[in-house]
Amino acid sequence: MRFITNSQLLFRHLNAVGSVIANNNTVPIISCFHFHLENNVLTVTATNLETTLMTRIEMENAVEEGLTDIAVPAKLMLDTLKLFEDVPVTFSANAQNFNIEISSGGGKYNLSGQNADTFPTLPPMEETTQTTMPASVLADAINKTIFAASTDEMRQQMSGIFCEMTPEHVTFVATDAHKLVRYRRNDIKSDEPVSFILPRKPIGTLKNLLTSRKEECDVTINFNKINVFFEFDSFMLVCRLVEGKYPNYEAAIPKENPNKLTVDRNTFLNSLRRASLYANQSTYQVRLSLSETTLNITSEDLEFSNAANEKMPCAYEGEPMDIGFNAKFLSEMVSNLDTEQVLMEMSHPSRAGIIFPVWGDNEEHHEDVLMLVMPVMLAN
């Protein structure tokens, strides 16, 4: 196997797929990249057994020389390439002993490869359902939901993102029981109702790949009862779906919320962030005191005698009310919205608040975003 390529081009592709390789692998072969060379196309694969990421790089004047597959030590390969300037490098591998030589200019570097026969193979793409959506739509859906997914590995279903496709829309949901986000697109549909739970960690990897792109493309999604396959540009990501049934999230959303608060999003967000600095650092509790034209945000930490009090203009419909929230949760939600104003609907200090973006009259959008945050009990 022999090919010549640009060092930084190869590094970018290897660095992307190498993000799925786990540290301290008990199976040595999965600490390697799988290189497969065929018809001037190098396919590089990395896996941690749960998630597999693959990329393809077109080569010029590549030669197989009796060896089409080899396992390449991932860390040493990446550490070497990232120290090269943007120069051509020659990669060659010996079919007899799997020794690898990397050369560039006056430098030569030798490392030991492995027989790739034992490298894990991709799961078969059998009995799959297929859908397609723009990369920007999928990236937005992940960005606006993944932060709300549970990090509790004992609650596997809630540690993922629930995806539900119907003939009317596609919906992404994440919750950790303290906060919930429902992101819906009315311009993406499925012929038949289907649903599955995407695991949080590999979907975080997918988000990074999608958001690093400079040009729009479509993502083809194939899934069955076990795995999901994402294909776009030169990449394919394969991961196991989360088993089990997702909680009935609709039952957690209060339907009657007569108290409605509309505020400037950036002003509200910055006030919350400042108030959180003076709140108890274990609860981050802030009090929202609501009246017709004024929102009062207060916080205190009795242990250190810290306190904050801010007033800001608002539009409020409903009975005057004091309600408490975790400022970290609330600011995290508001920061993941894009509109100039946000609407918060509430029914009672002991019931969840619901946050919506407020779209301008001339803004065209296909998003339906709902964010729910549970209140915290106030001392008085």
Quote the tokens at residue 184.
């819906």
12-25 pLDDT, tens digit each = 999 999 999 988 87
Would you state the pLDDT for residue 75?
95
Looking up tokens 């409020």 gives 316
pLDDT of 99: 96
First to last CA, the chain: 73
Give the pLDDT mean for 306-330: 96
Percent of the chain residues topping a pLDDT of 90: 82
User: Which three-class secondary structure string do you get for the chain?
Assistant: CEEEEEHHHHHHHHHHHHHHCCCCCCCHHHHEEEEEEECCEEEEEEECCCEEEEEEEECEEEECCCCCEEEEEHHHHHHHHCCCCCCEEEEEECCCCCEEEEEECCEEEEEECECHHHCCCCCCCCCCEEEEEEHHHHHHHHHCCHHHCCCCCCCHHHHEEEEEECCCCEEEEEECCCEEEEEEECCCCCCCCEEEEEEHHHHHHHHHHHHCCCCCCEEEEEECCCEEEEEECCEEEEEECCCCCCCCHHHHCCCCCCEEEEEEHHHHHHHHHHHHHCCCCCCCEEEEEECCCEEEEEEEECCCCEEEEEEEECEEECCCEEEEEEHHHHHHHHHCCCCCEEEEEECCCCCCEEEEEECCCCCCCCEEEEEEECCECCCC
Q: What value does the mean pLDDT take over residues 184-203?
A: 91
The pLDDT tens digits for 72-83 are 999 999 999 999
The region of weakest confidence among 55-59, 120-124, 190-194, 351-355 is 190-194
Query: In CATH terms, are 2-118 and 253-373 the same topology?
Result: yes
Q: Is the pLDDT of residue 126 over 80?
A: yes
Q: Taking residues 71-97, report their average pLDDT.
A: 94
- Looking at CATH, the fold of the domain delimited by 2-118 is given as DNA Polymerase III; Chain A, domain 2 (3.10.150)
Residues 6 or more apart whose Cβ sits within 8 Å of residue 137: 185, 188
Average pLDDT of 174-203?
93
The pLDDT, as a whole number, for residue 30 is 95
Phi-psi label, residue 257: left if phi above 0, alpha if psi -120 to 50, beta otherwise: beta
* CA pair distance 297, 336, nearest whole angstrom: 20
CB 251 within 8 A of CB 282: no
Map tokens 């709140």 to a residue. 279
pLDDT band of 56, cuts 50, 70, 90: very high
Beta bridge partners of 310: 297
| Confidence check: pLDDT of 380 > 80 | no
| CATH no. for 253-373 | 3.10.150.10
CA 167 – CA 267 distance, rounded (Å): 39
Q: What is the pTM of this model?
A: 0.90
pLDDT at position 317 over 80: yes
149, pLDDT greater than 70: yes
Mean pLDDT across the chain: 93
129-251 CATH fold? DNA Polymerase III; Chain A, domain 2 (3.10.150)
Q: With 70 as the cut, is the pLDDT of residue 309 above it?
A: yes
Which residue reads 């429902």 in tokens? 182
* Phi (first) and psi of residue 223, to 5 degrees: -150, 150
- Residue for token digits 């409605």? 260
Q: Average pLDDT of 172-193?
A: 93
Statement: residue 361 has pLDDT above 80 = no
Per-residue pLDDT, averaged over 169-195, amounts to 93
Total Cβ atoms within 10 A of residue 189: 13
Structural domain boundaries of the chain? 2-118, 129-251, 253-373
Place of tokens 């009935």: 248
